[in-house]
């Protein structure tokens, strides 16, 4: 079976060395030696702002919304994983969808201001497949209208924009460390913040509001990462660069193999140093996509319709029609894409894609 992605597992003996430390310390929950070690190593590797490690990649979105958005309207994208919209609704905010750019697939910054009302408190935008939003224009709009900016950067581990970590942008950026990601802790995530006061508030919020054993700093929730997850992260981190290099070669293979096809590919924003985490292709129509997917599935190859559906069409959303996002979501397919795909597998995928046209 060839799935859309494959979890990287480090040599088991290296993970076991970290587990031995946990057994010796008898601390498997949060705030142990490995938690602090992983936090420091990630900040150094990413050249990022201060970060808080979390139990998954959705809780940082919820905490950021709780702190920054109140119960207001949040300008957001319909083209993202469901967690982006679900977090907004879960925190009793109202998503206000803005359509996407047809090539970059990120929120169309030229349409944001027209959607702003007196009820808006924040913008929550997604760097789609690690492709950055127009962060400069979003920052300008947010400052002009007094809005906070949260970036769902779930796919962005290692991504840089104009020489900076993508996590430098916005009031808060979040990332997922799920097992499907280039860097993972099995399940986990992080939130990044440059402002010391805001960072402190986010930190307390992710730990029940605890300032000490007997003192609380307002309402909080349990979003803490355990030592066991931190151990996995420490074992995976040394291999990230080795994982990205073959991904680049597979990306180049797909680009060359499909350049004469009718399939469209995501346009990367200028100035981005990408992490090659996904390879989405856009078909001419839904019928063509479903036909190709069926043929690949029969060959035990399983790409993914990602992102589908357009989030403005969710059953619990009163979303208006958004032509571009809805069209793209019906026609986009993420191809199988991971470091140890072999030439025979790649050839099979290429042949099927071309033959199905």
Percent of the chain at pLDDT exceeding 70: 100
Mean pLDDT along residues 332-348: 94
pLDDT at site 234 = 98
| pLDDT above 90 for 212 | no
Please say whether the beta carbons of 109 and 37 come within 8 A: no
Bridge partners (DSSP) of residue 207 are 222
| pLDDT above 90 for 341 | yes
pLDDT tens, 2-21? 999 999 999 999 999 999 99
Confidence of residue 318 (pLDDT cuts 50, 70, 90): confident
Domain ranges (residues) in the chain: 2-238, 239-355
Which tokens belong to 289? Answer: 């996509």
Question: Same fold for the domain at 2-238 and the one at 239-355?
Answer: no
Mean pLDDT along residues 221-250: 96
Q: What is the mean pLDDT of the chain?
A: 96
pLDDT at site 106 = 98
Look at the domain 239-355 and name its fold: 3.90.1150
pLDDT tens, 155-164? 999 999 999 9
As a whole number of angstroms, the distance between CA 88 and CA 101 comes to: 22
Confidence of residue 141 (pLDDT cuts 50, 70, 90): very high
Confidence of residue 215 (pLDDT cuts 50, 70, 90): confident
Q: Is domain 2-238 given the CATH code 3.40.640.10 in the classification?
A: yes
As a whole number of angstroms, the distance between CA 268 and CA 225 comes to: 32
pTM listed for this prediction: 0.97
| Cβ-count burial 207-232 (b if 16+ within 10 Å, e if not) | beeeeeeeeebeebeebbbbbbbbbb
pLDDT at site 64 = 98
| pLDDT above 90 for 120 | yes
pLDDT tens, 103-117? 999 999 999 999 999
Q: Which of 235-239, 257-261, 339-343 has the highest mean pLDDT?
A: 235-239
């Amino acid at each position: 079976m060839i799935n859309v992605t494959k979890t990287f597992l480090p040599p088991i003996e290296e993970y076991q060395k970290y587990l031995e430390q946990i057994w010796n310390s008898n601390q498997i929950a949060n705030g142990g030696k490995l938690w602090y070690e992983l936090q420091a190593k990630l900040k150094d590797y990413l050249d990022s702002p201060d970060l808080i490690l979390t139990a998954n990649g959705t809780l940082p979105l919820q905490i950021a919304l709780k702190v920054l958005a109140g119960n207001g309207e949040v300008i957001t994208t319909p083209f993202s994983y469901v967690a982006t919209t679900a977090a907004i609704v879960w925190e009793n905010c109202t998503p206000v969808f803005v359509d996407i750019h047809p090539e970059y697939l990120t929120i169309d910054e030229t349409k944001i201001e027209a959607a702003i009302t007196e009820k808006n408190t924040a913008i929550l935008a997604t760097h789609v497949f690690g492709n950055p939003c127009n962060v400069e224009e979003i920052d300008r709009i947010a400052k002009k209208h007094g809005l906070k900016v949260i970036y769902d950067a779930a796919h962005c581990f290692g991504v840089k924009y104009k020489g900076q970590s993508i996590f430098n942008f916005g009031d808060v950026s979040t990332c997922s460390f799920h097992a499907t990601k280039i860097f993972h802790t099995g399940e986990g995530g992080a939130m990044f913040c440059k402002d010391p006061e805001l960072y402190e508030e986010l930190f307390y919020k992710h730990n029940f509001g605890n300032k000490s054993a007997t003192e609380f700093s307002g309402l909080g929730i349990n979003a803490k990462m355990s030592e066991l997850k931190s151990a996995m992260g420490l074992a995976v981190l040394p291999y990230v660069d080795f994982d990205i290099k073959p991904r680049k070669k597979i990306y180049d293979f797909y680009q060359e193999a499909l350049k004469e096809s009718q399939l469209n590919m995501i346009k990367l924003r200028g100035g981005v140093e990408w992490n090659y985490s996904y390879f989405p292709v856009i078909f001419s129509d839904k019928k063509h996509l479903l036909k190709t997917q069926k043929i690949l599935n029969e060959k035990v190859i399983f790409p993914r319709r990602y992102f589908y559906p357009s989030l403005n069409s969710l059953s619990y959303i009163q979303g208006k029609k958004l032509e571009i996002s809805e069209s793209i979501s019906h026609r986009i397919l993420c191809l199988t894409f991971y470091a140890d795909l072999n030439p025979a597998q790649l050839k099979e995928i290429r042949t099927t894609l071309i033959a199905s046209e």
